[in-house]
Amino acid sequence: MKIDCYLSQGCGSEEALRKNITCALDIEKVEAEVNFHRIDDEKAIALGLSGSPSVFVDGKEIQPQGTVGFS
């Protein structure tokens, strides 16, 4: 499993997100490659992200919101 997390430059969620992902993987007894990416709004729009943080599991966003960018 591969998990990619995209965060805006000013997003303060990284520490909590890391803890939550680690906890979930431990509970489910699953191994995953987890990557955190700090990106700007231009890159977020280019990637079609719907907020910060945006989390993808095996290439699929887990909480699509229908908007793009880090608004």
Q: What is the pLDDT of residues 18-57, one digit of tens each?
A: 999 999 999 999 999 999 999 999 999 999 887 899 999 9
* pLDDT (mean) for 5-23: 96
In this prediction, residue 65 carries a pLDDT of 64
Q: Which of 51, 48, 49, 56 is nearest to 21 (CA)?
A: 56
- From first CA to last CA, the distance across the chain in angstroms is 28
Number of C-beta neighbours around residue 21 at 10 A: 17
Q: Are strands 54-57 and 33-39 parallel, antiparallel or unpaired?
A: unpaired
The model's pTM = 0.85
Q: Determine the residue type at 29.
A: K
In this prediction, residue 43 carries a pLDDT of 94
- What residue spans define the domains of the chain? 2-61
